[in-house]
Amino acid sequence: MSASTRNIIAWILQGLLALAFLASGGKKLLDLPGTVNMFGQLGLPGVLAYVVAIGEVLGGIGLLVPRLVRPAALGLIIIMIGAVVMHATKIPGGIAGGMPALVLLLLLGVVLWLRRPAPASQQL
């Protein structure tokens, strides 16, 4: 795959993922009491609701800033691993209900792979 094709695919994925995480994090922030309550029902500390909501919004923004793409993707991968685990273990509906989280996790992995540093021999 050429570098330009890889770049185009990465930008498309980054844009779509940014929209998804900005929407998800924004929704959590707009209904913060409900989000804190939901986290509490899952046995998680309420402060984690703030961390996840803010992390999703900042991660969504970070996916659109070239220097921040990889750190943003890594942070969002951590959040999505937590979401997949919670769907698999505590949220009714199981992993089938967590398919969106699993798909987002996989797409973040693809972005991370597409945005990997080029080998030294290709940088010249």
**CB-CB contact of 49 with 73 (8 Å):** no
- Helices 32-41 and 46-62, axial angle in degrees (round to 10): 120
Tokens of 107: 């797409």
Q: Is residue 30 part of a domain?
A: yes
Our count of domains for the chain comes to 1
Tokens of 5: 């094709």
Q: Is the pLDDT of residue 124 over 80?
A: no
**CB-CB contact of 101 with 84 (8 Å):** yes
**CB-CB contact of 56 with 32 (8 Å):** no
Q: Is residue 124 part of a domain?
A: no
Q: For residue 118, what is the DSSP state?
A: P
Q: Is residue 85 part of a domain?
A: yes
Q: Is residue 120 part of a domain?
A: no
Containing structural domain, residue 42: 3-115
- pLDDT tens for residues 48-102? 999 999 999 999 999 999 999 999 999 999 999 999 999 999 888 888 888 999 9
- pLDDT tens for residues 25-38? 999 999 999 999 99
pLDDT of res. 72: 98
Q: In 10 A of CB 66, how many CB atoms?
A: 10
| Amino acid in the structure at residue 22 | L
Q: Is residue 76 part of a domain?
A: yes
**CB-CB contact of 102 with 95 (8 Å):** yes
- pLDDT tens for residues 112-123? 999 998 777 665
Q: Is residue 78 part of a domain?
A: yes
